[in-house]
């Protein structure tokens, strides 16, 4: 009997990433989402659209200041693909737990409306809840 082989990247449908809840780490999240979208097989224009949507989602969740919402805070990112649909979930967390609405940063006035205006039409916003600290985006292949 052959030994069990270690899983390869092709065996993994979901990638999880956690970064500090600090706008300066937005680039890491954008690059990860873009690389995953390329691996998923999205066209370059769709990868760019997803990258823009992820960037704007982070602005809505974190604001634009250089400070994170609280010490120990992080953004948990889940990149998943199922049945031809790529999904990106961003969740603001404090000390490993989801942010409760009273602790979530308040988006600047109009930030959520601006977010919906800026997100390209090919990207579906499944959840946009800055008060609850969660944004979920999807793109069909």
Name the residue ranges covered by the structural domains of the chain.
Answer: 13-140
Task: For the chain, report the end-to-end CA distance as a whole number of angstroms.
Answer: 39
Average pLDDT over residues 94-102: 58
pTM, rounded to two decimals: 0.79
Q: What pLDDT band is residue 105 in, cutting at 50, 70 and 90?
A: low
Q: Is the domain covering 13-140 a CATH 3.40.50.300 domain?
A: no
By DSSP bridging, strand 73-82 and strand 134-140 are unpaired
Query: For 109-119, what is the mean pLDDT?
Result: 84
CB atoms within 10 A of CB 38: 14
Please give the structure tokens belonging to residue 114. 């601006």
5 compared with 7, residue with greater pLDDT: 5
CA dist., res. 118 & res. 100, Å (int): 26
11-54, pLDDT tens digit by residue?
557 999 999 988 889 999 999 999 999 989 999 999 999 999 99
Comparing 116 with 4, which gets the higher pLDDT?
A: 116
Length of the chain: 141
Tokens 């065996």 belong to which residue? 11
Site of tokens 């990638």: 15
- Asked whether the predicted pLDDT for residue 10 surpasses 70, the reply is no
Closest C-alpha among 127, 125, 33 to residue 77: 33
Angstrom distance (rounded) from CA 104 to CA 21: 11
Confidence of residue 112 (pLDDT cuts 50, 70, 90): confident
């Amino acid at each position: 009997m052959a030994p069990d082989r270690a899983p390869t990247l092709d065996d993994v449908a979901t990638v999880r990433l956690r970064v500090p809840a600090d706008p300066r780490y937005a680039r890491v999240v954008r690059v990860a989402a873009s690389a995953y979208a390329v691996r998923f097989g999205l066209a370059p224009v769709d990868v760019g659209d997803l990258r823009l949507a992820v960037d704007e989602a982070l602005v809505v969740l974190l604001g634009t200041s250089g400070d994170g919402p609280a010490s120990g805070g992080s953004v948990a990112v889940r990149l998943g693909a199922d049945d031809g649909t790529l999904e990106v979930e961003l969740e603001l967390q404090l000390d490993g737990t989801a942010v409760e609405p009273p602790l979530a940063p308040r988006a600047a006035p109009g930030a959520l409306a601006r977010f919906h205006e800026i997100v390209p039409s090919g990207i579906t916003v499944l959840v946009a809840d800055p008060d609850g600290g969660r944004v979920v985006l999807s793109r069909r292949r």
